[in-house]
Structure 1
């Protein structure tokens, strides 16, 4: 795609590559002209001094099928990323490889890289037909507002009597399908996001993510590790931020701002909004964050939210990033068996992701933690290394109201029928249940390690991450597990 071919002044694919890489660092490996279809620019360069492999669909034929030479160049740069252990950023504007053989080669090369090096796909124009099937094989898909992706080429849909309007818009995939993790207005903005994303990721599955030096510099640590002085000051603002009622809605993003060193980078913000997935730094360490969102569905999980969280946890686990889970959930969204989305299967995927993870798992119970949803969200029972609770947290197999109704419904009905003060009896039973749901009982049972003030949480998490940086879990002797897809 030539400069400006995407309708803006951002330079299209070439502009994206220039904005992504450090100035003057691009070393081309192949520049294949389109010959009527998209050309391919393949090479490598640096992002903040770290090597990254790139390939981009370019030229006036962008948006059409790739020729054989272009496919071969794309396969070569993917193989280079595998041999050198470097992240791969692919810039898409094509409908497919043109042949079944080319499509198969691209699929095999993408699958071979999965879990080995981070793969970031960027859609600037079209990613239709076979190319739409390649996008989900990447770890993160970023798009511009003008991008589209559909398995059925819009022209083929029109020829078959369907709507001639372009299908698979960026807005659709950022929201309903969740295929796009982020949508930016243009190529340059997309490049800025990818640079920020790569700063949170290691170069490969055997490397560690970049860790910025603390303001006071490194002190070496007692074991020779690179740790700076830990900020132990309590965060009084976080204590004041939270509503007194654990069931009251609030935006969990405000909580994450206080737990992270300096903000966070959210993925899939417009999809399955009852759970937030993001990267943040705690004590300088890049950490994946899964947080239920009390402001949406009371933090309850539907099928889409379970699948979103499960995929993110597995992404973090593949590249050795700790996972922090903040839990304030009313449970699973009630759904009939056979309903669209299959909540049971998606919840099983979430359980599997946490139980399979070998990276440090830290969980903070910030509010309600009810039922099997709380168990699935990084509980002690599925492998969490550290579980903390705030005093406002409420734990239990069911919400207090539902538990009282189930356990004492008959007693309360008799009280009401006999003219006794049923409301006072109800409130007494509710208070008793709330007391049993307080986190102190969970500490005694070993389900929670400590109850601490919200303002002391960040320092506690930092200390835990320092301890767990050497966590080692021997893999089981098997080819691979059978994820409940």
Structure 2
């Protein structure tokens, strides 16, 4: 949407005034700010029509012409086996400290190019398109810079929409997970958080394109359900050595009475270790962070001819 000229509404201010008596404006009802930050209808706010056209052209370069084709392969000469030493220094060991996941995406993608979708809507999750070894991929990533990557209704809707789009056009999915998981309160419960969260799980399990997950640092409070764990049909998952992957976090302390808090914390830390997760077969391998790009490329190569047939049905029934 052009910030200076665009708007979209279903009812004009005059119609609303006539029916409800409420005074409103077009800007309040359907400005680019409203639809990019609140409703999520707008994927990108631009400063001119020319910028909008260029954004659309960049998106189209990642997509096939139709659902029967695979996305175009565009090799820019960036080695898929390139190692990135900088990846060792981006992620803080302290789980309470955030960082911008876009830094990791830019180091993993061909030429650092990443076309983001809905960048200001539900900003604790990042969605967009990149290439790895010339192959188009849809990236779904936590953004620990915003609420430590916490998940809610808006992030769930954003993810589900993006995942289903990629699946519709044969674009492989790459998940980069570092989240404190689904966080709820009485307001979110009243708004149906579980129903929104179920949309993501449905979209992931429904998708038949290659699905690759990289666990970066933390994935707890059932956050792995929003980032393609193998139980939901992810084809292959990898973990950095720094990752803590479990269903329990230190937050569990606050809901536990009569137990020694030091013992509780020690039990939580022991349960959430990367090795315990490996013993529970939650991923396929622990990888060197510097080899993240090469690992994803190899997985894309392995899954290049993936064909997953499902029993015929009229359509699915996504929880709306």
Query: What TM-score does the superposition give when structure 1 sets the normalisation length?
Result: 0.62
Matched, 1:206 2:68: yes
Q: How does 1:304-343 map to 2 (within 5 A)?
A: 304-336=154-186, 339=189, 341-343=191-193
Judging changes above 3 Å, is the alpha-carbon distance between structure 1 residues 364 and 338 closer, same or farther for their aligned structure 2 residues?
Answer: closer
* Greater relative contact order (CA < 8 Å, ≥ 6 in sequence): 2
Map residues 142-153 of structure 1 onto 2, 5 A cutoff.
Answer: 142-153=1-12
Per the alignment, residue 101 of structure 2 pairs with 252
Q: How many residues align structurally?
A: 316
Between Structure 1 and Structure 2, which shows a larger proportion of strand residues? 1
CA RMSD of aligned residues (A): 2.0
Q: Secondary structure at the match of 2:52?
A: helix
Is the 8 Å Cα contact of residues 90 and 99 (structure 2) preserved in structure 1? no
Which secondary structure state, in structure 2, belongs to the residue aligned with residue 327 of structure 1? strand
Q: 3-state DSSP class of the match of 2:95?
A: coil
C-alpha distance in structure 2 between counterparts of 1:431 and 1:238, whole Å: 29
Q: What is the SS of the residue equivalent to 1:484?
A: coil
Aligned partners of 1:329 and 1:369 also within 8 Å: yes
For residue 197 of structure 1, what is the aligned residue in structure 2?
59
Aligned residues of 2:140 and 2:173 also touching (Cα < 8 A): yes
Please say which structure displays the higher CA radius of gyration.
1
Check conservation: 2:248, 2:272, Cα contact below 8 A: no
Within 5 Å, which residues of 2 pair with 1:465-484? 465-484=300-319
Instruction: State the distance in 1 between where 2:280 and 2:242 align.
Output: 18
Q: Is the 1:304–1:341 Cα contact (8 Å) retained in structure 2?
A: no
Q: Does 1:444 align with 2:263?
A: no
Secondary structure of the residue aligned to 2:186 is: coil
Superposition deviation, residue 430 in structure 1: 3.0
Indicate yes or no: 2:114 matched with 1:264: yes
Q: What are the superposed Cα offsets for residues 265-319 of structure 1, whole Å, 9 maximum, x if unpaired?
A: 1111111111111111111111111111111121111101101001100000010
* Distance change >3 Å, CA 145–CA 197, structure 1 → 2: farther
Q: In the alignment, which of 5, 8, 13 is matched to residue 154 of structure 1?
A: 13
Counterpart of 1:402 (choices 225, 235, 251) is 251
Residue 444 of structure 1, CA deviation: 2.5
Aligned to 1:284: 134
State the 1:143 CA deviation: 4.3
1:350 equivalent in structure 2: 200
Unaligned runs of 5+ in 1: 1-141, 217-229, 414-425
Structure 2: distance between partners of 1:382 and 1:164: 45
Question: 1:169 and 2:28 equivalent?
Answer: no
Q: How does 1:42-191 map to 2 (within 5 A)?
A: 142-160=1-19, 161-163=21-23, 165-166=25-26, 167-191=29-53
Question: Does residue 435 of the first structure (1) align with residue 297 of the second (2)?
Answer: no
- Aligned-residue offset at 1:468: 0.6
Residue 241 of structure 1 is matched in structure 2 by: 90
Q: What secondary structure is seen at the aligned counterpart in 2 of 1:256?
A: helix
SS in 1 for 2:137: strand
Asked if 2 retains the 8 angstrom alpha-carbon contact of 1:281 and 1:287, the reply is: yes
Normalising by structure 2, we get a TM-score of 0.92
In the alignment, the residues of structure 2 paired with residue 164 and residue 387 of structure 1 have an alpha-carbon distance, to the nearest angstrom, of 49
Q: For the residues of structure 1 that align with 2:253 and 2:186, how far apart are their CA atoms?
A: 24
